[in-house]
Amino acid sequence: MKSLVTSCLIAICTAIPACCQARLDNWETQAIAVDSLFRSIDTQSQPGCSVGIIYGGRFIHRGNYGAANLEYGIPLSSKSVFRIGSVSKQFTAIAILLLEEQGKLSLDADVHEYLPDLINYQSPVTLRHMLWHTSGMAEYMDANITAFKNVKGEPFRWGNEDYLTTSEFMAILSQLPLHSPPNQKFRYSNSAYFLLSQVIKAVSGQSLREFAQDNIFEPLKMETSSFNDNVNRVITNRATGLGHQKMASTKYFKQTLPGLVMVASIPQSTILSCGTKTTTTIA
């Protein structure tokens, strides 16, 4: 299990900018070069990035640029915890592969074997299709999907305005027909990865958050990484995610609060996370 998790995590590292590739032995020079890329970000008035660069199996640079919270003027630090959006899909995939390794599921089984309440797709959709984004599933944020409503009966807003419980979301998503036949083409699917999180729960008896904590984060000592499935949860040192918005002639930042996604910090996850990245990904 450890080798599987480790091999999957190796891929989650930031690329070294071209300006830094000439002399990797000169770390101080490279750190200055990376710093220069983010020099214009103000630590109190602009959201920014925490950057970690690994080369030869060890950190050659760590940097924090911009604010973790604009309302209080808190700068980003090595302790800042980010929502990492769709990077969390890789950990959902690891959880599925661990369960396959344990003999508890098959990647080539129809998803209905684990989630029998899903609508009849008319064609087999396997877990492998879902992992590889070839399931053909309808994307819940597509403009033609009108089944999701807020409490006022209005179209659901996939920002931080409206909320659904996991069971409410599942009840609607489970009845959406396929967008296209499975295993025909690549089509990125948030819907498929949310359903994979429900497969994990059905097979293991644990939520994705609980399973990942016990089988991925704790064994790897990723102490500040976790899936967050509770919008009211207090997360120490959380950086507030913001996205650019424009109203009339005024630009402003809007807080982005995705649903079931991972939170992580640079020392544990080695992930480049930018505070201005807007994401509404679930799982």
Proportion of the chain in helix, strand, coil states, percent, rounded to 5: 30, 20, 50
- pLDDT score of 163: 85
Cα dihedral across residues 79, 85, 87, 88: positive or negative: positive
Q: Which domains does the chain have, with CATH numbers?
A: 2-85+224-250+264-274 (no CATH), 87-217 (3.40.710.10)
- Enter the tokens of residue 208: 């994705």
* Closest residue by Cα to residue 263 from 217, 220, 221: 217
Distance CA 217, CA 228 (A): 13
Q: Residue 102: which residues within 8 A CB-CB, separation 6 or more?
A: none
Q: Which residues of the chain have pLDDT under 70?
A: 1-25, 243-283
For residues 264 and 216, is the Cβ–Cβ distance under 8 A?
Answer: no
* Closest residue by Cα to residue 141 from 155, 121, 130, 122: 155
pLDDT tens per residue, range 54-94: 888 888 888 899 999 988 889 999 899 988 888 899 999 99
Three-class secondary structure of residue 179 per DSSP: coil
pLDDT tens per residue, range 188-203: 999 999 999 999 999 9
pTM (two decimals): 0.78
